Structure 1
């Protein structure tokens, strides 16, 4: 990974064509206010979202009279939709609407969705109306990649080193607001729903979504940079593939300057995008930019002749995909926070004095960990690393993500070690009855789980935030929202991968009457083996990531 330090320093921001005059102090103040409004907007949106999603299964069961299985399936189907919509919003932003108008449109849809959900709760309306509002929320809420990209757009990172540092900090604080919103929505609003009913519990998210829209519009005058839509990236990619296939027999010139490119001031044929420098990876695609005699004899067709920048745009995406794929295993392990960690915690002693702490509440320590690590990373680790490495970010983006992969492995090892210790305590003492509800627990405090949640939060700060910054920075100018949306897609696939892994492990280990590693009664299983398997997968994934990071070439703009 360190081999990429110099390449990033010279490549990602090295093109003269994309440079502009450094922003004035007035512009920076304006940008700062705009970004603050975006951060508060993000916090409000996620507080509203988790205020609805965290306790949704209980609303479906209690208010809509759904069975447990139907309620669970409806929630997972809805959450699957929530994972897909960010890519749709990102595509619209990059292709047709631009980021500002996409955010405005989807925020309006979101307000309508929360409004319908709240109205059905107040009127005690059942069925289709509630689900219509719920899916409007899913559609309007898919803005993480677009808002993050729009916020990063406000910093002229190509013209000024200080702006690059401020842009990197923005990604850190952006994810901090996500954790704050998750914490508030998943605790305070869930308590409101339990203590004061669904009307107020769903009315507050509706008000927060409206406030998020007002805040975003209020910052209109403070947003100093707007990336124009560049047209459909799928069409441009298809044109490169078709043109290269048509010229499969054409010889690529040894001199890359002979390949087709527009003359001008450094901007490309794609609106608002800088020209990209030629790279030697995926050389076959260069055939699309070879100008033949037929191309000179007739009007140029983009399905026969593409520019170097258009070819390099596709190369950028192809280089990002292996890095993105490594994030799927990371996400599969990370999602244990909301599944097997809770199963483990359900058997541990939850007492704190006269209070009983549900296992699911401990996920709060994951959010708190992120809230602790973000300022620690931004204000302490980065300055120290900058002095040691000389790199303006402290670490290269690839190095930062790699550190997170290692930290996540430690979290899985910690969970496995705790499970092995829990099983030893169970073997000696068994379960004993505590509390008025008659529930049985192993005589071992649930707070032994806190370290694994804290380490998991640290892994998120290094890898997930690093991914957001990396995909934004390394994406072509006209595809930044779409490529930033790959982070969300990786987490969605990671959830599916986790489910598939659990199914495989259950089938492979539960044979011949044995309970298997993951049993309905985890005291009969070996959940620690599953955690250690995840740790080994994380180690193997990290090894693959090292190869990908060594192979990766940072994006370069043309001079």
Structure 2
């Protein structure tokens, strides 16, 4: 790769040019487009995935929700591997190219899998069973395709934003200000892309067809790769292998830190730099201290996991809940249930402005803290808002179940596909509240884990934040699977019954609210005793 000093790159995938003529906005715009397109593709699949699983693929609500959560968890955890591959082997540029090719392959396979006949297209036999229910081969082909998308996303997520930021020199005053602006436009592109995608693609998938619904994201990713490659000669590259810390991979650095921690002398403790003139011993001492720094973060990380469970609900159970409501607007138009996730994106954008322009200045005058409130206070506020979100969701579900009973949609006198006579606007507050919670908790976790991770292990910061969402999704999948099995026992009715009018999502939301309340207490205890790293932005 071309180095920062301007040496030509020996890599055939990279351009042979001098660094001073590279980078800046001309390069960043290519990269922003790639991320916008990737988010379009990802949300085009994830936002309405549960509808495909319970529809054409014929799965139960519980099985579909658990499957979506497991896939989301994998997609959030795999960036740890993607970052390690980029840092230690491929470099960011080649990781982005390889991930894009894999993305297009996975989306193409998804499109092909959706062209197989579904039970709805085949009709039903006399015994009420679909005469051409999806075969095990068809389901396997679908899931292989789906997890290829997750693997591809794991290469994009840790690399594209960092590669975009690489196009600006933080040590140059003019480029440093442009770099700050880059992050603003980056986040704007993500929010805009996600909101537009959910609105458009959920309608296409529900009303036009799943083949087109999966095919459009595939074409968008193909176009994104072409545009990214067109910008190759303008990009700025650093280092000799894409790695950080002198070419050492992330996992290698963590391994060295733990070895150093085990090697330290129990009699003398850690050795400071230069204390014995032994550079290797001093390096081991610093790395051992880094391990202690990581250990201090574990209680905060663990007490954020339930938020990851709450974060998993909009694309699964919230969507199934919305599907039962009266979603008509005007005489004939009906809003797709997954499209209600747009209110989440709109809420996030609005709350970011309110937080930055109203809350921070007001809080700063009271607390004297430059950021208004500390990072941990911000995260805790978001967890509290998620508790309110779950309480509101449970109350709305109780009202929905009463409306279903009063309308005869539970006793078998009406079809379980009939809409409950209750407006979609009843469910909007839980999306808006969760959007507000995201502004506090999600952004707070990003800042906290980046800011508080020890210096030599900074690259793990955002990966730790993503792992909260990944583990939270796995916990959600586990809870749904266990509760479904327990409540079905001895002929009982599952909380996640395919006919939600007979189920009890309200009980599940109340259970999550109780667990979140316990999480908030634990988080408050550990955050009260947490001492911020010196010179960290949050320490004041």
Contact 1:103-1:147 at 8 Å conserved across structures: yes
SS in structure 2 at match of 1:391: coil
Q: Does residue 410 of structure 1 match 2:426? A: no
1:131-188 per-residue CA deviation (whole Å, 9 max, x = no partner) reads: 888666443422323444556678999999xx79985x87676444333222333343
Q: Does residue 43 of structure 1 match 2:36? A: yes
Q: CA deviation at 1:409?
A: 0.9
SS in structure 2 at match of 1:339: helix
Q: CA deviation at 1:389?
A: 3.2
Contact 2:44-2:198 at 8 Å conserved across structures: yes
**1:98-497 equivalences in 2 (<5 Å):** 102-116=91-105, 137-142=149-154, 143-149=156-162, 174-189=186-201, 195=208, 198=212, 201-210=216-225, 213-214=228-229, 217=232, 220-221=235-236, 228-230=244-246, 231-247=248-264, 249-252=266-269, 259-261=271-273, 306-353=283-330, 354-431=332-409, 439-497=417-475
1:266-287 per-residue CA deviation (whole Å, 9 max, x = no partner) reads: xxxxxxxxxxxxxxxxxxxxxx
Q: CA deviation at 1:49?
A: 2.6
Q: CA deviation at 1:415?
A: 0.4
- Counterpart-to-counterpart distance in 1, 2:409 and 2:460: 51
Q: CA deviation at 1:537?
A: 1.3
Q: CA deviation at 1:396?
A: 2.0
Contact 2:344-2:431 at 8 Å conserved across structures: yes
Contact 2:26-2:234 at 8 Å conserved across structures: yes
Q: Does residue 548 of structure 1 match 2:537? A: no
Contact 1:114-1:209 at 8 Å conserved across structures: no
Distance 1:324 1:503, change over 3 A: same
SS in structure 1 at match of 2:419: strand
- Counterpart-to-counterpart distance in 1, 2:529 and 2:435: 28
SS in structure 2 at match of 1:440: coil
Aligned residues: 478
- Counterpart-to-counterpart distance in 1, 2:480 and 2:53: 26
- Counterpart-to-counterpart distance in 2, 1:133 and 1:525: 31
- 1:92 pairs with one of 80, 85, 90: 85
1:61-119 per-residue CA deviation (whole Å, 9 max, x = no partner) reads: 99xx97758x969977765553333111222344x36xxx7331122113323444577
Which shifted more, 377-386 or 528-537?
A: 377-386
Q: CA deviation at 1:366?
A: 1.4
- Counterpart-to-counterpart distance in 1, 2:289 and 2:444: 23
Q: CA deviation at 1:412?
A: 0.5
SS in structure 1 at match of 2:502: coil
Distance 1:340 1:105, change over 3 A: same
Q: Does residue 501 of structure 1 match 2:502? A: no
Root mean square deviation, CA, Å: 4.5
1:183-214 per-residue CA deviation (whole Å, 9 max, x = no partner) reads: 33334345566648649625532344325625
Q: CA deviation at 1:535?
A: 1.3
Distance 1:492 1:311, change over 3 A: same
SS in structure 1 at match of 2:500: coil
1:302-329 per-residue CA deviation (whole Å, 9 max, x = no partner) reads: 6xx6444312322222222222222210
Distance 1:34 1:427, change over 3 A: same
- Counterpart-to-counterpart distance in 1, 2:163 and 2:290: 20
TM-score (norm 1): 0.70
TM-score (norm 2): 0.72
Contact 1:116-1:129 at 8 Å conserved across structures: no
Q: CA deviation at 1:57?
A: 8.2
- Counterpart-to-counterpart distance in 2, 1:76 and 1:362: 19
Distance 1:399 1:342, change over 3 A: same
Q: CA deviation at 1:448?
A: 0.5
- Counterpart-to-counterpart distance in 2, 1:56 and 1:518: 17
Q: Name structure 2 gaps, 5 residues minimum.
A: 1-19, 117-137
Which shifted more, 318-327 or 493-502?
A: 318-327
Distance 1:49 1:358, change over 3 A: closer
SS in structure 2 at match of 1:443: strand
